[in-house]
Amino acid sequence: MKFLDNPPRFLFFTGKGGVGKTSVACASAIALARAGKKVLLVSTDPASNVGQVFGLRIGNTVTAVPAVPRLSTLEIDPQQAADAYRERIVGPVRGLLPDAEIASITEQLSGSCTTEIASFNEFTALLTDTDGVTGGFDHVLFDTAPTGHTIRLLQLPGSWTEFLDDGKGDASCLGPLAGLGKQRSIYADAVSALADPDRTRLVLVTRAQRAPIAEVARTRTELADIGLAHQYVVVNGLLPAPDGRDALDTAIHRRERALLDALPVNLRTLPVDEIELKPTNMVGIAALDSLFTTTPVAEPAAPTTEPGAVTDTASLSTLVDELAADDHGLIMFMGKGGVGKTTLAATVAIALADRGHQVHLTTTDPAAHLTDTLAGAVANLVVSRIDPAEASEQYRTRVLKSKGAVLDEQGRAALTEDLKSPCTEEVAVFQAFSRVIHESRRKFVVVDTAPTGHTLLLLDATGSYHREIARQMGENANFTTPLMRLQDPDETKIVLVTLAETTPRLEAAGLQADLERAGIDPWAWVVNNSLAAAAPSSPLLRCRAAAEATELRAVTADHATRCAVVPMLAAEPVGVEALRALTREGCGDSATE
């Protein structure tokens, strides 16, 4: 692999959700450790699954991987980081300020802004700490959250206001920025380390699919613009050359090669590695050891699926019929990146619009490509995007007009600097999301959400807002918050999207547990791109189809009250007619029928 030739100390893996960043990062860590290097693998993803891949319980402390000498792992736990961050701020003034003010500050620091800043602090500390946690390692590999999460935080403003000077502070989202002015040199050192090709190599991981390739092309430019230009490309999960006997195998291979032959110009100048699709999921040391090798695939001895493996499932059209029985409501598609949320959200929105309902299709995912997926207009359907940059600019304008109107020039300058923070974006996106929820009282609103970790942060903000409103209004007041609408099954339907693979299924199950703890019950699951449902004949695809049986059974038996299975298709479903085909009767019925 080119990206592992003479590697620098830091390797940074990024890319769209679902492309296999974690698998590539884990396999790279193992390869370097087996070559005699001492390696630390760090996950910065709020929805990390490194522990699942290695079969270990990993947390916010360095954990050795027993099966691989010289390899250790660490997950930046957002909640633990946030707890420690809060204590660093509140601890020094506890006992100096009234209890009510301490409680107010603590509540202010309970939202997603605090979580993001705290996690970022942990990340930058690892980049700049040569004598502490990372000092004894030859290589530190970062498995990141889906593209854009860390990049945005690397663009932190150059100066910050001190939040707790004189024990005071504005009770707003800006609380988490307390003391960050003192961290400016650390942040500058972190950015310098990332931009230095002798210290850092950036690995852009993609699949041979339109959306992931477009994402890494955009990322390549954004990273270069902030000085992070030393980049490599890894194309993961490529089908090997087929023998021509399986139409599905042949069609997918042809589609992938065509996309690689037409790579965007800004990617063609980078070193590119190709990794072939393997017959098994990348879970466990043995599987990861095989990722960078090519081995022949034997004919699977077992049938494609066990009898009854996908019983009690419905077609996607059946779910749409049930949704269409109402005349309004919020329908949110959630799950790990790369599982097909955008495609399925667009499919359901078109199907509802075709039934005569007024529908608003929108996305909270900064990397979503709704218009590309639709590639056309549909009667009764309006399409939008909650653009973080646009929402932030609108929010800044509103705050400066209202709050800034009573400030002097110095005060307005300080407020303007505060509003450049990442917290501003979180609040702005939450407010836009709240408006979307309100709109669903009179029409269907279908939401394509960001990957799991980002969605959890948005829901965290929703919960923080609910608690603040409840505190202000009192126990006997009559009010409805966005969280209360999400908790109402008559108003909101949550659809969890997954693949019949271990990691996305476990992530969806974890998301379901998080939602249930917040009083939100998922309405249905959709297992997308199922090879078992497509009934392939090639040995490689049959092996992968056979491996789906356990995952499909787990979904229907352990997690879902409603479940639809959508088969893998020969062509990517792009365009209105291709999306409509997904809800025609017979598409996505049980593979055992």
Per the CB < 8 A criterion, the answer to whether 524 and 493 are in contact is: yes
What is the token pair recorded at 27?
């396999």
Please tell me the distance from the alpha carbon of residue 420 to that of residue 414, in angstroms, as a whole number: 10
Contacts of 399 (CB under 8 A, 6+ apart): 415, 419
Which residue in this structure is represented by tokens 């195998």? 249
Contacts of 373 (CB under 8 A, 6+ apart): 211, 342, 343, 346, 573, 574, 579
Q: Where are the beta strands (DSSP E) in 145-295?
A: 200-207, 231-238, 272-276
**DSSP 8-state code for residue 510:** H
Mark whether 23 is an active-site residue: yes
Contacts of 491 (CB under 8 A, 6+ apart): 329, 330, 440, 441, 485
Which of the residues 17, 28, 43, 45 is marked catalytic?
45
Mark whether 20 is an active-site residue: yes
Which of the residues 14, 23, 63, 72 is marked catalytic?
23
Mark whether 21 is an active-site residue: yes
Nearest to 103 by CA among 40, 5, 175: 175
Contacts of 147 (CB under 8 A, 6+ apart): 14, 15, 16, 215, 216, 219, 367
Which of the residues 14, 15, 17, 20 is marked catalytic?
20
Please tell me the distance from the alpha carbon of residue 399 to that of residue 374, in angstroms, as a whole number: 35
DSSP H or E run through 247:
helix 247-261
Q: 341-354 and 316-324 helices cross at what angle (nearest 10)?
A: 50
The CA dihedral of 189, 190, 192, 193, to the nearest 10 degrees, is: 120
Nearest to 126 by CA among 6, 44, 30: 44
Per the CB < 8 A criterion, the answer to whether 526 and 582 are in contact is: no
Please tell me the distance from the alpha carbon of residue 44 to that of residue 66, in angstroms, as a whole number: 22
Backbone angles phi, psi at 334, to 5 degrees: -130, 160
C-alpha radius of gyration, the chain, whole number: 24
Neighbour tally for 100: CB within 10 Å: 8
Which of the residues 14, 16, 17, 22 is marked catalytic?
22
Per the CB < 8 A criterion, the answer to whether 512 and 496 are in contact is: yes
Determine the distance from the C-alpha atom of residue 336 to the mean position of all C-alpha atoms in its chain, rounded to a whole number: 6
Residue 190, CA distances (Å) to 62, 122, 150, 181, 414 in order: 20, 11, 12, 15, 25
Neighbour tally for 157: CB within 10 Å: 17
Which of the residues 14, 15, 17, 21 is marked catalytic?
21
Angle at 93 between CA 92 and CA 97, to 5 degrees: 170
Please tell me the distance from the alpha carbon of residue 354 to that of residue 251, in angstroms, as a whole number: 30
Please tell me the distance from the alpha carbon of residue 16 to that of residue 3, in angstroms, as a whole number: 18
Which of the residues 114, 119, 503, 538 is marked catalytic?
503
Please tell me the distance from the alpha carbon of residue 348 to that of residue 354, in angstroms, as a whole number: 10
Which of the residues 14, 15, 16, 18 is marked catalytic?
18
Mark whether 22 is an active-site residue: yes
Backbone angles phi, psi at 204, to 5 degrees: -90, 110
What residues act catalytically?
A: 18, 20-23, 45, 503
